[in-house]
Chains A and B, each alone.
Chain A
Amino acid sequence: MITKKTLSRRTMLRGAGTAIALPFFDAMAPAMNSSRVPGGKPVRMAFVYVPNGIDMRHWTPKEEGAFVGDLPKILKPMESMRQDITILSNLTQNSGRALLDGAGDHGRCCGAYLTGMQPRKTMTDIKAGISCDQIVANKVGSATRFPSLQVGLEDARQAGDCDSGYSCAYTNNLSWRSETQPLPPVLDPRAFFERLFGKGAALNPEERARQSKYRRSILDFVTGDTKRLQGDLGPTDRRKLDEYLSSIREIEIQLEKAEKDNAQVNPGMPKPYGVPADFAEHFKLMSDMITVAFQADMSRVVTFLVTREGTSRPYREIGIPDGHHPLTHHQGKQELLDKVTRINEYHMVQFGMWMERLKAIKEGDSTLLGNSMIVYGAGLSDGNRHTHENLPVMLVGGGGSTIKGGRRITYRKETPISNLYLAMMDRMDVKVEHFGDATGRIDGLNLA
């Protein structure tokens, strides 16, 4: 009989006020009995949402099937991962359409995006539907510390009119726990960091500033546990642990830098504590922490609202002082169209760098990206005309060796995007008979 002492998947590094979950180590492999995918690694699912549609002229590859030649302009930052991405064409979100409710496509398309339900046009008694990420979180969330995580970069207002009578709750949230309860995204990197690694209640800015004056690295609090653990690990796992803890330290350094920078910036508006002034830096911080959360199996379900739907955020970082939303109503003017394309590219650059980091993390005989399914897309295709068909949808990752990338799959017109969500839920081992306005499950994703 062969026996082997294994490390529990639930092992944590503990210290005063701190508990750091760990990534998947080889030493944990035999203990991963509850995993549901071949090889024992859990599959992660994330939805990354960008607002105001995407310039589809520079999004859709010309050829169907395997990618031929260069990727379109907006997808260029994904070039090094072209075999990991699948572009899905012709998917439709019917519930985002007016359907007799008049103006308000931005409010509707975001509220309907993951719920598949037409949001009620109101600013008070909001109603949409439970989102697909929450259906999954309800089923698999008990296996992780956080059933799901909601992250954003811009605006988490939950009240007021954000689009022609639609509550800001629709434009500023992706996840809906129930048909009346949206889950607001966390915007502040420090708050997100403390949610992931700290145990105490959130501190107010003054207390946090006072504490940070004396703050050491969070890793300092778990030195004892770290040393003990290193003794139980082989050389490969020890290197993995070192890289993992280094990545946490790097996030801390970025946070400290962002907070220091913020002290020198007058944004001219109230801003949550700790939010970096620089968009790219903010994106990197939040995505780094999602990476750690995925790596350490702290959560398998994430929604990431890059900026709120209908946002008029300018992008001065790339020389665009105009608001994003007004630009998308370009009326065919080339100068404005070019700016929209540049914003789309800028978002993709940030996203691409994140995906590269996921791909660089080995997980058994695959990578973290290989064990993930990440949908990048928008609730509108043409932001000028507010169209809800042929949405920009990119699926990144191998879904635990179940998805064949490197191609464009075109579905029949009016195929609900909810059909994609059902196919993804299957891969999370969450069997749902019906969701939103689905007419079935999309096919063609499989490896074979």
Chain B
Amino acid sequence: MQFRGQGKPSLGVIFDSDMGSRVETALALAVLYGLDGKNECRVVSISSTRTSLLSAAFCEVVGRFYAGAVSGAFGSFARTLPVGLAADGKIPGDTNLLTGPLNRRSPDGAATYNHGIEKLTDTAEAHALIRNAFTAQHDQNAAVVLAGPPTNLLNVLNLAGAKEVIAAKVKHLVCSTPLAAKDLEAAGWPTPIISVSPSAGTSVLFPVSTLDKEFAAFPAHPVADAFRVFGKDATTGELAAVLYAVRPAEKAFALSEPVGKIRQLMIEPAERGRLLQVYVELATAKPVPRIPRFRPPVVEESKKPEVPPSKP
């Protein structure tokens, strides 16, 4: 619940991907939650175009990992957002990047990561979720990150009145691939579109060595587990998409002249080293617990800790 007089909240980010295809998508989501933890943005919608319950389950596991930092589109109850899933997506199947973390067990056989997605009705209609998230944002205070095919966003565009809402609410759309950017431009996406150049992803590689360093501080980290399955340095185009969406003034980024609505995002060669440090710092940031602003859970009288009598 948002109340007047509390000022404009940080940027709301809608993250749509085909989670499970590439490890960098998981790393990008970790970067996004890292930025959320710093109050630079709010994760207001997560969705997947991969028609796989595990894809949605992994997104939810990552959300729960950062549970305190899940700020939500519609309220601030610190609840896990429903994950949107394309039921008619064209990318079927589960991958090792998903099954690896999700099948991880503790010594007693229990799942390391819990989630509530067992069937399709545990997920949200992706286009409804995304459209509803837009409606809850201040004008020009939302950004969309697309790390995969544009199926869900094209479905959103087909909803009555959606283009007007997007034009009002969204500052920019950042796509990790030029093809998706072109598809969305052709479909009439109404805001500026940023397309990450292929070289931006390959020029900075996320080192697998972080598993033994920064990620090692966590007893269990779902993104690290996916990264472990991948087992080598990862490209970072999708991380660039997330970072640009939230920090467009980041000096490591440069934009091309627009062609139509689309501008290409490139990396300044001299900034690659520093940019990598930023990626690593954000992707391996600790979850930041948040206290719900509205009606915190009530502790039953019998379960309340005893308050020692105050000293005279």
Contacts and interface: CB of A to CB of B under 8 A. Distances in A.
Interface string B131-154: 110011110000000000000000
Interface residues of A, number: 33
Nearest to B5: A102
Contacts of A434: 160
Interface string A66-96: 0000000000000000000000011010100
Interface string A375-387: 0000000001111
B68 to A, nearest CB: 18
Q: Is the interface of B mostly helix, strand, loop or mixed?
A: loop
A103 B3 contact: yes
Given A97-B74, A98-B74, A100-B138, A413 B124 contact: yes
B300 A332 contact: yes
Interface string A109-121: 0000000001000
A90 B87 CA distance: 16
Nearest to B139: A100
B129 A98 contact: no
A90 B128 contact: no
Q: Is the interface of A mostly helix, strand, loop or mixed?
A: loop
Contacts of B77: 385
Interface in A124-138: none
Interface string A274-294: 000000000000000000000
Contact of B121 (A90, A333, A438): A90
A412 B135 contact: no
A412 B120 CA distance: 7
B1 A411 contact: no
A415 B125 contact: yes
A401 interface: no
B199 interface: no
A90 B116 CA distance: 15
A414 B124 contact: yes
A423 to B, nearest CB: 15
B298 interface: yes
B29 to A, nearest CB: 19
Contact of B159 (A89, A118, A388, A439): A439
A328 B120 CA distance: 31
A439 B125 contact: yes
B127 interface: yes
Contacts of A387: 75
A413 B136 contact: no
Name the residue among A100, A118, A437 with the largest chain B CB count within 10 angstroms.
A100
A99 interface: yes
B121 A412 contact: yes
B136 A414 contact: no
A410 B121 CA distance: 7
A89 B121 CA distance: 10
B121 A94 contact: no
Interface in A393-443: 410-416, 434, 437-439
A3 interface: no
A413 B127 CA distance: 11
Contact of A98 (B123, B132, B136, B159): B136
Interface in B68-120: 74-75, 77, 82, 84, 87, 120
A61 to B, nearest CB: 14
Nearest to B159: A439
B311 interface: no
Nearest to A95: B135
Contact of A103 (B1, B135, B137, B297): B1
Given A414-B82, A439-B159, A100 B128 contact: no
A33 interface: no
B121 A413 contact: yes
Contact of A413 (B87, B125, B131, B297): B125
Interface string B1-41: 11110000000000000000000000000000000000000
A143 B150 CA distance: 47
A331 B138 contact: no
6 contacts: A98-B136, A100-B2, A118-B135, A332-B297, A413-B129, A439-B128
Q: 8 closest pairs, A vs B, by CB? A: A413-B124, A413-B82, A331-B298, A414-B124, A414-B128, A102-B4, A410-B121, A434-B160
Given A94-B74, A100-B2, 20 more contacts: A94-B132, A98-B1, A99-B136, A100-B138, A102-B4, A118-B135, A331-B295, A331-B298, A332-B297, A332-B298, A333-B298, A386-B1, A412-B121, A412-B124, A413-B124, A414-B125, A415-B125, A437-B131, A438-B160, A439-B127
